[in-house]
Amino acid sequence: MREKKSTVREFVYLTIALIPITLFSYIQYINQRNAELEYVGVYYLTEYPNCDTCVLNLNSDNAYTVIFDDRTLEQGKWKYSSGGDYWIVDIGKNGQLGSGKYKYNDRKNNFKE
C-alpha cells in the first residue's frame, strides 16, 4: 500500500512541476507568433533584379510571393527569428527582408486577426 501512495505522490509532484514549464512554453510561442505577424503585409521592393515595381507579399501562413504584373516570380516560405537585440526575416534561402534584392521603400501591413 505504501508503494502505491509513493507512486501517486510522485505523479502529482511531476504534474505540478510540468504546469509552469508548459505555461512558459505556450507564452513564448504566443509572443513569437505575435512578433512574427507584425511583418505580414505587402512590401514594395526596390532592388529586385530586372524589376522596378515588384511586390513581396508575406502571408500569415509563412508563405511569401514576389509578384510583378500579376505574375508570380518567386514563392516559398519565410521565417522570423529574433534574439536579445535583433530580428531577422529570412525569405526562403534567398536572403533577408530589408537587404539585397529584398530591400524595400514602403510597406502595408494587411494582417487582420
Q: Please state the rounded mean pLDDT for residues 47-51.
A: 92
Q: What are phi and psi of 28, to 5 degrees?
A: -60, -45
pTM for this entry: 0.76
Residue 88: helix, strand or coil by DSSP?
strand
C-alpha cell recorded at residue 60:
500569415
Q: Which grid coordinates belong to 50? A: 530586372
Residue 113 has pLDDT above 50, yes or no: no
Question: Taking the alpha carbons of 40, 41, 42, 47 in that order, is the dihedral positive or negative?
Answer: negative
* pLDDT of 2 strictly over 60: no
pLDDT of residue 26: 96
| Res. 97: pLDDT tops 90 | yes
* pLDDT grade for 110, boundaries at 50, 70 and 90: low
Model confidence at 91, pLDDT cuts 50, 70, 90, reads very high
Of 83, 104, 79, whose CA–CA distance to 93 is shortest?
79
User: How large a percentage of the chain has pLDDT more than 90?
Assistant: 64
Please tell me the least confidently modeled range out of 3-12, 22-31, 61-70, 91-100: 3-12
Q: Are strands 55-58 and 41-45 parallel, antiparallel or unpaired?
A: antiparallel
